[in-house]
Structure 1
Amino acid sequence: MTENQRIHPVVDMEAPPPTRTTRPLVPRGSFKSEKGDPTRLQQPTVNQPFRRTVPVMYSRPPTKKRSCFCKCICWTISLIILLLIIIAAIAGILYLVFKPKIPQYSVDNLRISDLRLNFDMSLYARFNVRITAVNPNKKIGIYYEKGSHLSVWYKNTQLCKGSLPKFYQGHQNRTVLDVALTGQSQYGNTLMSAIQEAAQTGRIPLDLKIQVPVSVKLGKLKLRKVKILGDCLLIVDSLSTNSLVRIKSSTCKFGLKL
């Protein structure tokens, strides 16, 4: 009877459960993974070029000096724009009040006092030109200052020159000026032959150039000097001395130069 008895181990219910020992997937001391050996991956292959990592550069924050400089530039530009707006507004008001117009000029007649060859074969010329100046402005006066220049040209050769007198032209005034122009030109023989040849056709081109410094008077205010520039292309029938030359056509252009 004692032989058939079996001994069963007694299980302690309060004892902690036994820990399971897990076997590592990769043995210790090995760096291999599913993607392969990392030491081999770091080595560049023949087909793949070597890439260098570029360090990231961060911009420095703006300094106080730079911000002050930008503020100064902004203030300067703002002041310039404001000044231009004020000047434009003043100019617009003056234009509406005075309504300025450019003076008008015309060449009425031309007389040849003298045109001859000298002993040195230079050509001496003396012209008398009558010019009419019209000031169409109602509230603007014109001061004709010293330093004016008038000249008569035949093609590219200056024949004679002169100047306008100094005077003041009032509002809506019409003034007639008689100006004497004199001068000498080199190669007078060749020039005289060309003029005589053109006189046979009855059309001799002359160019009258005008440059006059003037000062404008707005009410009681006298402004700075400006220059009136003019160019008149005249076609005359002849250049006979001591006779009134007939002007067949006259084309004049005038402008202002500050």
Structure 2
Amino acid sequence: MGSKGGCGCCSCLCGCLFSCLLSLIFQILFTLLVIVALVGFVFWLLFRPNEVKFRVTDASLTQFNFSTADNTLHYNLALNISVRNPNKRIGIYYDSIEANAYYQGQRFDTETPAPFYQGHKNTSVLSPVFKGQQLVTLGATEVSNFDSDKSAGIFGITLKLKLRIRFKVGWFKVGHFKPKIKCGLNVPLKSNATSSPATFESTKCSFAF
């Protein structure tokens, strides 16, 4: 009987220790969450991070021809993309940049501008050039849309940027983040026609993490 009573006490003691350990772990986790939240709030108060602003300021389209015989798109598109860092105390490392050009949902080219660092309250310009030919799949509806765009002299082209960035705050570097930028562009085709072609309008891009 005495042996059984001893086992019961050990079992009770182990249960109490386990409950105390769980309680301690939850308290530690809760404390860490509070500390992280406070650090984040203090960071926001001190640096007030603002969203980086992307805008396509100029677009030059000198060739955009689609051949139904071999489903090949021939293109020559040059863009100027303004990248504005409005923050006073935060620098940005653009470790990788991938610029993708789409027409009617079909990606026809990808360019990779060189990585760079952008300082506080600074504006940088990216100038990717999409030039060449690409096999694209356009159905009857898409071909009809192409003919309409060609007749109007303005093509709806979508630019998507995939970034990998880090933030620099003082001596500290924070990252990596992978925001996605999307720009819906209406780009006039430049030609040797005597009539003045439409001009490209500066276009703001959307920014999302």
* Contact persistence 1:100–1:140 (CA under 8 A): yes
Specify which of 87, 102, 105 is matched with residue 36 of structure 2: 87
Q: Normalised by the size of structure 1, how large is the TM-score?
A: 0.65
Which residue of structure 2 lines up, in the alignment, with residue 136 of structure 1?
Answer: 86
Which residue of structure 2 lines up, in the alignment, with residue 246 of structure 1?
Answer: 199
* Contact persistence 1:151–1:210 (CA under 8 A): yes
After superposition, the C-alpha distances for 1:121-163 in whole angstroms (9 at most, x for unaligned) are 42232321100011111111111113x2111212221122212
Matches within 5 A, 1:60-75: 63-75=12-24
RMSD of Structure 2 on Structure 1 (CA): 2.9
Specify which of 61, 72, 83 is matched with residue 122 of structure 1: 72
Mark the runs of 5 or more structure 1 residues left unpaired by the alignment: 1-59
| 1:214 is aligned to 2:185 | no
| 1:230 is aligned to 2:181 | yes
CA separation in 1, counterparts of 2:164 and 2:198?
29
Specify which of 173, 179, 182 is matched with residue 122 of structure 2: 173
CA positional deviation for 1:251: 5.0
Q: Match of 1:128, as an amino acid?
A: A
Specify which of 149, 152, 160 is matched with residue 101 of structure 2: 152
| Higher-RCO chain (CA-CA 8 Å, sequence separation at least 6) | 2
CA separation in 1, counterparts of 2:125 and 2:137?
35
* Contact persistence 2:54–2:204 (CA under 8 A): no
SS in 1 for 2:38: helix
Matches within 5 A, 1:104-123: 104-116=53-65, 120-123=70-73
SS in 1 for 2:179: strand
CA positional deviation for 1:115: 3.1
Task: Count residues in correspondence.
Answer: 195
**Identity of matched residues, %:** 24
CA separation in 1, counterparts of 2:27 and 2:63?
63
SS in 2 for 1:63: helix
CA separation in 1, counterparts of 2:29 and 2:150?
59
Q: Match of 1:252, as an amino acid?
A: C
Mark the runs of 5 or more structure 2 residues left unpaired by the alignment: 1-7
Q: Match of 1:223, as an amino acid?
A: V
CA positional deviation for 1:201: 4.3
CA separation in 2, counterparts of 1:233 and 1:170?
27
Q: Match of 1:228, as an amino acid?
A: P
Q: Match of 2:206, as an amino acid?
A: K
Change (3 A) 1:241 1:64: farther
Which residue of structure 2 lines up, in the alignment, with residue 44 of structure 1?
Answer: none
Q: Which has the larger radius of gyration?
A: 1
CA separation in 2, counterparts of 1:144 and 1:79?
36
After superposition, the C-alpha distances for 1:94-122 in whole angstroms (9 at most, x for unaligned) are 11111111111100111124434578442
